[in-house]
Structures are given as structure tokens and as C-alpha cells.
Amino acid sequence: MEDCLFCKIIAGEIPSAKVYEDDFVFAFKDISPIAPVHYLFVPKTHICCAKKITADNSVQVAKIFEAISKIAADEKIDSFRVINNCGEDAGQSVMHLHFHLLAGKQMGWGEQSLG
């Protein structure tokens, strides 16, 4: 999709530190990490947000979680958090569905737990 930052990263038009790629999934390091491990997992086709996940495209979400499981095993990440922000109030700043993988620090719970 034109003018989508993450579509441009997937296409290689904007550089990123890639950590994983398969037919469905692209994963790369977050440019402003909030934990020692902070990767972003995105579907290769443009889906704006979690509100647009349907029976027709949910396989891409399943593939993302398979990739997260694989990366966690490969990198011996025993404990981690997966976050999806959907919509402005939730803090979504890039309108291409993505899941944050966070690890490597003790995490609290609640609104300010990741700041």
C-alpha cells in the first residue's frame, strides 16, 4: 500500500534490522526499543489494524504467532510479552497491523507498565 511505512520496510524501500521473514511474516527491530528485546511482527499484506482481522486473513495472524514462537525458541527467550495497539487511544501510531514482542526485563502490569 502506498505511503505505508511498514509496507515500505517489507519492500526494502526503507531499511530495517530484519530478524525474521517467511511468505507471510516480516519481523524487525523496533527503532525506539522499550525493552532489551523489542521486535515488530507484521503481516506481509497490508491490514490496517486488528479491527480488520477476518476469517479471510486471520491465517496471517496465526503465522505471526508461529513466527514469534520460533524466534523465542531460537533466541532462548523464555519469558516475553506480545502487544497489539489498535486505534489512536490505544497508542497505534503506524496503521499497518503489528505485534510488539518485548522481552529481557521485568515487566509490570497496568497502563504505565511499559513506559
Catalytic residues: 98
* HSE-CB of 77 using CA atoms within 13 angstroms: 22
Q: Shortest gap between Cβ of 34 and ligand 5GP (angstroms)?
A: 7
CB 30 within 8 Å of CB 94: no
Q: Shortest gap between Cβ of 101 and ligand 5GP (angstroms)?
A: 11
Instruction: Tell whether residue 85 is a contact of ligand 5GP (CB under 6 A).
Output: yes
Instruction: Tell whether residue 39 is a contact of ligand 5GP (CB under 6 A).
Output: no
Q: What are phi and psi of 7, to 5 degrees?
A: -60, -40
x/- mask, ligand 5GP, residues 46-65, rule CB under 6 A, reads --------------------
Q: Which amino acid is at 112?
A: Q
- The residue ranges that bind Zn ion (CB under 5 A) are 1, 4, 6-7, 46, 96
CB 94 within 8 Å of CB 80: no
